[in-house]
A and B are shown apart, each in its own frame.
Chain A
């Protein structure tokens, strides 16, 4: 049998519900009820009093993790390069922001930090300060035992200069504290429905799906440390309307991926819809994982 996936959920899934119709404990309880083991958060979205979090908030965080038997997985951070209208953010400022998030993430028990880096082009080439900003934080990340992992997100495919530059960075620095995070939205092969008020003129092409062939993952698998399992709609027959899990799961298994699949629901935002959608996603991916293992076992027995 190939190594098993770990299952988690990002609180991003509960966007618009979190803080309006669901508390932190409601969210944690819902994730635990899935049989998931990991919780992913966004620092500036879900940590009370960010970035000066109180001891009471941190105590409550660990109380909840203990009560519901969850481990912190990935912590989302931002390098907001457009923070100033009249001047550019410097690499030092970017590094200072990232260092602050690394320290907070470590205090909360996280092992991965995803910096979302500002872009300078239509195809999401990150601001050139990224390299120096992250390099300045590598020793701190090492000390805190955290892996910094920028995300590969549509419309950026796997075969792209952005991914190559991240891999060159890993090879050059020989660091163990930087890796790739894959957002499964890159595999989307059918269009998303129009969002409320969206017209064909407003449509951005990538919302129709950039259709990265799942097998492209194999070439970069050794650098991938985390996967955000982005999805938008799964119906009552466990059919995903946009993301081809039936080809993604066997490919991840073949690659020997044994890290987290952390649900990122990004569909319709009616109250509590995400709760049911995330359950369907875990049911679907777990089913495909079992089927892969059963096939592998059958083939092994036949030999």
Chain B
């Protein structure tokens, strides 16, 4: 089972070679009551300790496939199931310092049955999460 928070504790880590980190990633529970086709997910803004990483530049891993935002918006045949975490990959030279960070996500979802004026629905959550390895 997944954690109840959107951002999962496990999987918050630096990416790239140790000593030359290129960024970090986090695992995310879908903020919905159902699974979604990937094209209905309009990206995720991530804020770490006040530093903003907008949804346009982040990359998204659903199942085994990685998507840019534009690719995600076209991925109408890819499903993000409720019981699987997706991964948000963020570019940041050097990655994050080991230790506890304040992490906020803004997950943007297109819901066909809500008037377009109110879309995308943005689900916001903040938590502390810990990077263990440099």
Contacts and interface: CB of A to CB of B under 8 A. Distances in A.
Interface of A: 12, 15-21, 23, 42, 44-46, 48-51, 76, 78-85, 116-119, 121-122, 124, 127, 197, 204, 271
A19 B3 CA distance: 9
A122 B4 contact: no
Nearest to A19: B83
15 contacts: A20-B1, A21-B4, A42-B34, A44-B34, A44-B82, A45-B34, A45-B82, A50-B35, A82-B112, A83-B39, A84-B74, A85-B73, A116-B112, A119-B112, A119-B114
A80 B124 contact: no
B76 to A, nearest CB: 5
B81 interface: yes
B112 A79 contact: yes
A185 to B, nearest CB: 14
Kindly list the 8 A-B residue pairs having the minimum CB-CB distance in the complex, ordered from nearest.
A118-B112, A45-B34, A15-B33, A82-B112, A20-B4, A44-B34, A44-B35, A81-B112
Contact of B112 (A18, A42, A83, A204): A83
A46 B34 CA distance: 7
A83 B29 CA distance: 21
B1 A19 contact: yes
Contacts of B117: 122
Interface in B16-57: 29, 33-37, 39-40
A82 B110 contact: yes
Contacts of A197: 124
B1 A21 contact: yes
B40 A83 contact: yes
B40 A271 contact: no
Contacts of A127: 112
A116 B113 contact: yes
State the majority secondary structure of interface residues on B: loop
Interface of B: 1-4, 29, 33-37, 39-40, 73-74, 76, 79, 81-83, 110-119, 124
A32 B120 CA distance: 37
B34 A20 contact: no
A18 B35 CA distance: 13
Contacts of B115: 119, 121-122, 124
Contacts of B40: 80, 82-83
B104 to A, nearest CB: 12
Given A78-B34, A85-B73, A124-B115, 13 more contacts: A19-B2, A44-B79, A44-B82, A48-B83, A76-B34, A80-B37, A82-B40, A84-B76, A85-B74, A116-B113, A119-B113, A121-B115, A127-B112
A124 B117 CA distance: 12
A43 B39 CA distance: 18
Given A80-B40, A83-B40, A84-B76, A45 B35 contact: yes
Contacts of A46: 82
Contacts of B81: 49-50
Contacts of A49: 81
A216 B59 CA distance: 50
Contacts of B29: 20
Nearest to A271: B4
Contacts of B33: 12, 15-16, 42, 45
B3 A20 contact: yes
Contact of B118 (A12, A42, A118, A204): A204
